């Protein structure tokens, strides 16, 4: 399918369908960016080495930071 054919098809899509296509294009840009695979590999190595945090720990840290920033404290 050519770019012109794709563009012709896009005009008939609903706003929701266009949003889905837009998200997919953004994802493709990220995963095809230079160095992406290397950055993901390095991040996975850090996690495997125990240098990451769980979702629960991350949320707990955010809660602590928010409570530390409360006025009057």
* 73: in domain: no
- Tell whether 21 is covered by a domain: yes
Please list the alpha-helical segments (H only) found in 1-73: 3-10, 15-31, 36-48, 55-68
- The DSSP code for 35 is T
Specify the pLDDT at position 44: 93
| Number of structural domains in the chain | 1
Examine residue 16 and state whether it is found in any structural domain, yes or no: yes
Task: Please report whether residue 28 resides in a domain.
Answer: yes
| pTM for the structure as a whole | 0.57
Where in the sequence is the domain holding 56, given as residue range(s)? 3-68
pLDDT bucket at 69, cuts 50 / 70 / 90: confident
CB-based burial label for 21 (10 Å; 0-12, 13-18, 19+): middle
pLDDT for res 2: 96
pLDDT in the model for residue 72: 62
Q: What is the pLDDT of residues 4-57, one digit of tens each?
A: 999 999 999 999 999 999 999 999 999 999 999 999 999 999 999 999 888 999
């Amino acid at each position: 399918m050519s770019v012109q054919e794709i563009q012709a098809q896009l005009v008939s899509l609903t706003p929701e369908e266009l949003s889905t296509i837009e998200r997919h294009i953004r994802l493709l840009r990220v995963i095809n960016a230079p160095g992406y695979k290397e950055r993901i590999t390095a991040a996975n190595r850090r996690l495997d080495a125990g240098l990451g945090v769980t979702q629960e720990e991350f949320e707990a840290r955010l809660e602590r930071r928010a409570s530390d920033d409360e006025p009057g404290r």
